Structure 1
Amino acid sequence: MKTNYISHYPINVQAQVQQMIDQDRLGLFLLAKYPTAHRVANDKELREYVLGLKNRYLKKSNPLSKVVYDNKIHVINNALGLHSYVSRVQGGKLKSKNEIRISSVFKKAPLAFLSMIVVHELAHLKEKEHGKAFYQLCEHMLPDYFQLEFDMRLYLIQLDLGGAIYS
């Protein structure tokens, strides 16, 4: 069973997904719902996209020093993107840097999935832990956050099955 990305969902949901896999319909389901991949092709465009969302929802949060696609993030380890916060003393002053790194797997994914991951990482600017306030902030920025997270997990299953569906 290739449903490891949805193992914490109810058994009946996992069974429905397994049925789509067995009938080779998962990719078709995703393509019907998300027919195209986004066009945020490089780090510069990703930074612009992320800053647009940040400026819309989190204007007063700390600035981002780096926003990049990262080939080293392994989705298998449950990381789709990473937010890092680094503090250093530099010349007697405390400097902090916020960085967002998005797995390169999402260079060829629907914009909705990229948005979900970016919103998740931006939410960490205000809420460090995955608690109620964190997910409320995610939903504020992206009202269908939870559905998109589920669908994105289906996309990861599809990729594991060897079926890239966007070129």
Structure 2
Amino acid sequence: MTTTIEPPEAPEAAPRKSWLREHSELGVSVLLLALGVLVLTDALTMEVDIEQRGPIGPKTVPVVVGIGLLVIAVLLAVDVLRGGRGEAEGGEDIDLSEPADGRTVLLLAGVFLGFAVLIGPLGFPIAGALLFWGAAFALGSRRLDRDPLIAAVLSVVTYAVFNNLLGVPLPGGPLIGAL
């Protein structure tokens, strides 16, 4: 009686990931490329009514940003095609296996929507204070003795910096109109 030893069966090969799945970072590169083209197109077709003084005009920054986006898109694409991969999210203070907290996201979305609705009639100082206080509440702060005061100070300081120092007019609302 002769026994033949057959070679063990090879385990089934794991299904290969598709080429696009292995190079998914190219999606970010395409997005950056499209954004760069959009910024450059908008900057180069912008009509400027003011007389340019010196070499830097209102088109300079958008053109530089657009070119920067295009360069980054190309460099990222080259890196991905050469085998570079983004590092997976480590998240030292978050548990990546847990789902997103939908309640917090909805609260924040509501606070931002409320701010957008209230900034016109109430002005930035009041609407901004509600925004800062609502965001702090949505993110878990329950210090009712401290949070409204911090929100009010942040809002008024932000209003003063933009309106008075930077020359960016923000709606003052009835609070500023009364002063």
Higher strand share: 1
TM-score range for the pair, normalised by the shorter chain length: under 0.3
- Normalised by the length of structure 2, the TM-score is 0.23
Q: Compare relative contact order (CA 8 Å, sep 6+) and give the higher one, 1 or 2.
A: 1
Q: Which has the larger radius of gyration?
A: 2
- Normalised by the length of structure 1, the TM-score is 0.24
